[in-house]
Structure 1
Amino acid sequence: MASNATTLQVGGPAGERSVRLSSPDRVVWAETDRGQAVTKADLAAYVIAMGDPLLRVLGDRPVTLQRFPRGIDGEAFYSKNPPKGYPDWARTTMCTYPSGRSHPQVVVDEVATAVWAVQMNTITYHPWPVRSADNDHPDELRIDLDPQPGRDFGDVVTVALGLRELLTELGLTPFVKTSGSRGVHVFARVLPDREFLEVRHAVIGIARELERRMPDLVTSAWWKEERGERIFVDFNQATRDRTIASAWSPRPLPGAPVSTPLAWEELPEVDPQGFTVHTVPDRVAESGDPWEQMDTTAASLDPAYALWEADLERGLGEMPFPPDHPKMPGEPRRVQPSRKRHDLPDPPDVPDRDAQDQE
C-alpha cells in the first residue's frame, strides 16, 4: 500500500518552497537485474541532487512533461499545457505550434518546479531549443544519432566522433550525451538569429555531409525501409515542437537509465546502461558537469546553413516533415517509397495534432 503524502522543502532563488509529494513509496521503476527499484521519493531525491546541472539545461526554456501515472509500465502522455494545480510561483511561456495555434508551456526555472513535476508523475523532461523571451529562434542545435537494427553503440560512437569533427570544422562547439537508450545526442549552442525552418535545413545539410563522409555508417533517409543497417541522423528533431529528452533526464526504460552528458574522451569507453538514477548523482559530485560551460560557446550557424544551400545547387531539396505537421512548401510526398505511385497527385495535407496528449 502506498504511504501517506509528505511535504518536501526545496531551496531556490526565492527561498524554500513547500512541495507536496503524494504516494512517495509508489514504485516508478521495478527492480531488475540492472538495478534496484526506484520510488517516487527516490525520483524526487534524484531531481534535488541534480538541481544545478538540471536547471542549466532546462532553465528559461518551454518544457513538455512526459508523465507516467502508473510507472514506466503504464500508459504515458505528454503535457504541453500546464497541468491543473500548477504552482502559482512557477512560470509559463507562450509557444506557437506548427498549426499556428499558441498556448503556454511550463518553464522549469527552479528545482522546486522540477520536484512538482515529479509529483505530477513526470519522468522525462523535453525542453524546446529556445529561450522564453524568443520562442521562435533556437539557440541550440540538437542532432539525434539513431542506430538502426544491426548497429550497436560502438557504431554510434564512431559516427558521433565523425560528427564532432564536422561540427568543429563548421565553427561550432559540440557536446555529447547518451540518449538513455541505444543512441547518442550531440548538441551545440548557436546564435539565435535563425528561425526553426532554417535551423532544420542546417541540420539536413549537416546530415547529408556526414552521410557523404561515412556512407557505410550514416543515413539521412527519412523512410525506415531506405535506411538499412546504418545510423540515422534524425533531422526532424530540429523541427518546431519536436523535442529531445533533456540532459540528466531519466528515461522510461528498465533500470532507470539517465541521458548523461559526457566528456568526448569518455565516449568510446562508457557503458550507457551504467548511468542511472542511482549512479549519476555520485558521478557528477565526483567529476562535475561536462556541459557546465556550454552557454559560453554560442556560434554562428551560417557555415552549417551553407551546406544546405550547396545541396540546393546540387539539386537536393526539401525532406519530409513529421506526420503531424502541415504539408510544407517543396516537401516531397509523404508516402513511403515502396507504396508510392507516380501517377497520383500529392496526398492532402495531414491535419496537425499538436493538441493531442495535453492536459
Structure 2
Amino acid sequence: MASEATTLRVGDRDVRISSPSRVLWPDLGVTKLDLARYLVEVGTPFVAANGDRPISLQRFGGDVDGDQYFSKNPPRGTPEYVRAVDVTYPSGRVHPQLVIDEPAAAVWAAQMNTLVFHPWASRAEQHDLPDQLSIDLDPQPGTSFADAVTAAVDLRAVLDEAGLTAFVKTSGNRGLHVFAPIEPTHEFLEVRHAVIAAARELERRTPDRVTTAWWKEERGDRLFVDYNQANRDRTMAGAWSPRALPRASVSLPVTWDDLPGIDPAEHTVLTVPERLQTHGDPWASMHESPGRIDTLLAWWERDVADGLGELPFPPDFPKMPGEPPRVQPSRARKPADD
C-alpha cells in the first residue's frame, strides 16, 4: 500500500510532505502539514531572519514528546536547492552545515521532521564573523516573563549607550532574546566579550534583578544573562521558529512597544500567520544600519583592568585562556589553613 503523502507548492517548487496528518503537537492537534503550511505563510520573514546562515535542525522521531536529535550536515537525498557551508567547531573539527536560502528549504526541513530551527549569528560566507550580537535573558526559579521584559528594556538602554540598536523576540517559552545588528568585523570570542561587557553593565545597574553567574547555585531568584549563547556553535531558536513545547509556541519578533503586553503562550503556529498579516515583520529593517562593538569592547577592557576577567565557557569547550576553574563553587577545594 502506498504511504500517505501530499505535495505543497512553495514558490516555484513542489515539496513532498510524507505523513501529512502525523500529529506533532498533541495538545493542539497540530500536524506535519500544519507546520509546513505555517512555514510557507511566514516564509519571507523566516528566511530574512534565519537564511544565509549555518543552521542546526532540531528533528523529532515522532511528536514533541518523543525522541529528538540535532542535524547539522546535509542528509542523503538533500535537494539541490538546499546548500551547505563548511564550518569550524570549537573542537577544531570542520564539516558542512546546512543553510536555508528560501521558504522551500524550510518546508523540506519540516518534511525531515524538523520542528525547531537554530541559526548561527554569522552569515554562511563569513561564518567566523558574527553580524549580530545576541543575548539570552533566561528566567530562573522565582522569576517570570515579566521580569525578563523589565530586564530587556534595561538592556536596550545599555546597548543604546554603546551605540547599538536593539531588537527583541520571545524565546517561545519564558525568556526573551535581545539582538543588535553589528558589522561583521570581529570573531566570536570578541563578540562574546562584548556580550559579557553589556551583561556586566546591566548587572551593575540592576544587581537585585539580573546576574551573570554561570553556576545556578549563585543565581538566586535573579534573571540569568546567558552570555555563553554568544559562543561559536551556540545557537538559540531562530525568529519565527516553532518551539518543541506543548502549546506549539513560536519564537516571535515583537516591537518594543508591544513587548509589555505579550503573552508568549498565545503566539503559536496556528495564530502567528494572522499576526504577521496585521502587524508586519518587526525585524524587517534589522540589518539596514549595523553598529560596531567598539564601545562594548572598551568596557570589556576596562573591566579586565579592574580585575573582572574571563567567565566560564560551556563544559564541551576546550579550556580557554584566562578562564576560571570549571568547578561548582560549593564543590571547589578550599585552601588548607596555615
Q: Which moved more, 1:143-152 or 1:88-97?
A: 88-97
- Alpha-carbon distance between aligned partners in 1 of 2:75 and 2:185, rounded to the nearest angstrom: 32
Deviations 1:102-137 (A, max 9, x none): 111111001110000001100111000111111101
- Alpha-carbon distance between aligned partners in 2 of 1:53 and 1:5, rounded to the nearest angstrom: 27
Give yes or no for the alignment of 1:30 onto 2:29.
no
Q: Which moved more, 1:191-200 or 1:86-95?
A: 86-95
- Alpha-carbon distance between aligned partners in 2 of 1:3 and 1:86, rounded to the nearest angstrom: 20
RMSD, aligned α-carbons: 1.2
- Alpha-carbon distance between aligned partners in 2 of 1:191 and 1:88, rounded to the nearest angstrom: 31
- Alpha-carbon distance between aligned partners in 1 of 2:290 and 2:81, rounded to the nearest angstrom: 31
Match of 2:279 among 287, 310, 321: 287
8 Å CA contact 1:258, 1:276 repeated in 2: yes
TM-score (norm 2): 0.97
Q: What secondary structure does 1:265 align onto?
A: coil
1:298 corresponds to which letter in structure 2? P
Which residue pairs with 2:68 in the alignment?
A: 76
Which residue pairs with 1:209 in the alignment?
A: 201
Which residue pairs with 1:6 in the alignment?
A: 6
8 Å CA contact 1:3, 1:25 repeated in 2: no
TM-score (norm 1): 0.92
8 Å CA contact 1:247, 1:260 repeated in 2: yes
Match of 2:267 among 264, 275, 280: 275
- Alpha-carbon offset, residue 297 of structure 1: 2.4
- The 4+ residue runs of structure 1 with deviation greater than 4 A are none
Give yes or no for the alignment of 1:61 onto 2:57.
no
1:43 corresponds to which letter in structure 2? L
- Alpha-carbon offset, residue 84 of structure 1: 2.1
2:73 corresponds to which letter in structure 1? N
8 Å CA contact 2:208, 2:222 repeated in 1: yes
Deviations 1:205-258 (A, max 9, x none): 111110000000010000000000001000000001000110100000011000
- Alpha-carbon offset, residue 305 of structure 1: 1.2
1:149 corresponds to which letter in structure 2? P
- Alpha-carbon distance between aligned partners in 2 of 1:322 and 1:86, rounded to the nearest angstrom: 32
Give yes or no for the alignment of 1:339 onto 2:335.
no
- Alpha-carbon distance between aligned partners in 2 of 1:185 and 1:90, rounded to the nearest angstrom: 27
Which residue pairs with 2:142 in the alignment?
A: 150
Give yes or no for the alignment of 1:109 onto 2:101.
yes
Structure 1 gaps, min length 5? 345-359
- Alpha-carbon distance between aligned partners in 1 of 2:334 and 2:120, rounded to the nearest angstrom: 37
Q: What secondary structure does 1:114 align onto?
A: helix
Identical amino acids, percent of aligned pairs: 60
Give yes or no for the alignment of 1:126 onto 2:118.
yes
Q: How many residues align?
A: 335
Deviations 1:29-78 (A, max 9, x none): 012xxxx3100000000000001010101111010001112110001111
Which residue pairs with 2:17 in the alignment?
A: 21
- Alpha-carbon offset, residue 287 of structure 1: 1.1
Structure 2 gaps, min length 5? none
- Alpha-carbon distance between aligned partners in 2 of 1:3 and 1:261, rounded to the nearest angstrom: 37
